[in-house]
Amino acid sequence: MASFEKHDLTGQIAIVTGASSGIGAATAIELARAGADVVVNHRHSEEGAARTVAMIEALGRRAVAIQGDVSLEADVLSLFDEAEASLGAVDIVVSNAGRQKDARIGDMTLDDWNAVISVNLTGGFLVGREAIRRFRRKGIRPDISPAMGKLIFDSSVHQVIPWAFHVNYAASKGGLHLLMQSLAQEVSAERIRVNAVAPGAIATAINAEERETNADGMLKLIPYGRIGDPADIGRAVAFLASDASDYMVGQTLFVDGGMTLYPEFRGNG
Ligand code: NAD
């Protein structure tokens, strides 16, 4: 029987979507550091995925890069097929892939809306559904973990903080929140744990322009006084994937330097 307090992921197989860069890459590496072998999904960044794979292999773990667009059902099914064929039955799935396509509401096209919803929300559904199907097929392996599987979504502080000029993104993460909780309610009796992380501002490509032009403005929203590092999120995901969090079900772990404390209201607001 695996030890409940351990953060150790030895013997477990993980899939991380969108793992060629940013938070996904850092998460794949942190899972490997904890002992997992990792499938590095990417949409079309072979070079980035190869970098993540090399870093995992340097940690002495197995890794494989698999291309696939999480918004396409056929790609998600073949991602899981190829993952199982390469590394074996999957214990941990991190639905991390996401994107932004910002516009003021009057200028936001239906394509802008669909581009974000199809990856952040529909992608979460497709990856989550397939994870649950595969966990069921694998069953519980009590020598590995008391849980049949661990599904973790990469949400955002914008699942609760409204975000003007980014309504497609905020709506996708708000939807992801109830997708995560409803899935957890549906499958937790089978010992499948579904949880989420909600990052604040983390230094990745998704906000490179904002960090360049408005770093001071961003820092005003972060009581802890620094932009987050992708590894800050990777470590939180590794915790949610481990038996150390075995009694956590349907929760969102906010990793945001205090952004959801609404620091604008400190003092007299
Ligand atoms: P990023 O742009 O570096 O990573 C996003 C990854 O998703 C990229 O590797 C991209 O190729 C991949 N991706 C996009 N569309 C895809 C698709 N259709 N299929 C497969 N992969 C696809 O940015 P990031 O900050 O690392 O973002 C990772 C996740 O973290 C996203 O879900 C994002 O919404 C969330 N997040 C980021 C921040 C932040 O401040 N960086 C804050 C909150 C939430």
Asked whether residue 268 carries a pLDDT value surpassing 90, the answer given is no
- The predicted pLDDT at position 269 comes to 61
Q: How far apart are CA 68 and CA 71, in angstroms?
A: 9
Nearest to 25 by CA among 68, 55, 2: 55
Of residues 169, 224, 247, 262, which has the active-site annotation?
169
21 lines ligand 1 (CB under 6 A): yes
Under the banding of pLDDT at 50, 70 and 90, the label for residue 5 is very low
- The predicted pLDDT at position 6 comes to 72
- 87-102: buried (b, 16+ CB within 10 Å) or exposed (e) per residue? bebbbbbbbbbbbbbb
Neighbours of 236 (CB within 10 A): 21
Chain segment 6-37, per-residue pLDDT in tens: 799 999 999 999 999 999 999 999 999 999 99
Given ligand 1 and candidates 15, 16, 21, 23, which is best to mutate, with the most ligand atoms within 8 Å of its CB?
23
For the chain, give every domain's residue range.
Answer: 13-254
Report CA(119)–ligand 1 centroid distance (Å). 9
Report CA(208)–ligand 1 centroid distance (Å). 12
> Is 169 marked active-site?
yes
Mean per-residue pLDDT over the chain, rounded: 96
- The predicted pLDDT at position 203 comes to 97
- The predicted pLDDT at position 24 comes to 98
Span 109-123, average pLDDT: 98
Asked whether residue 249 carries a pLDDT value surpassing 60, the answer given is yes
Chain segment 119-158, per-residue pLDDT in tens: 999 999 999 999 999 999 999 999 999 999 999 999 999 9
- The predicted pLDDT at position 1 comes to 44
Chain segment 222-246, per-residue pLDDT in tens: 999 999 999 999 999 999 999 999 9
Per the model's pLDDT, the better-predicted residue between 5 and 153 turns out to be 153
Report CA(4)–ligand 1 centroid distance (Å). 31
Chain segment 170-206, per-residue pLDDT in tens: 999 999 999 999 999 999 999 999 999 999 999 999 8
Asked whether residue 3 carries a pLDDT value surpassing 50, the answer given is no
Q: How many residues does the chain have?
A: 269
- DSSP string covering 101-163, please? ----GGG--HHHHHHHHIIIIIHHHHHHHHHHHHHHHH---TTT-SSSEEEEEE--GGGTS--
Chain segment 52-65, per-residue pLDDT in tens: 999 999 999 999 99
Chain segment 72-86, per-residue pLDDT in tens: 999 999 999 999 999
**150 DSSP β-pair partners:** 92, 193
CATH class label, 13-254: alpha beta
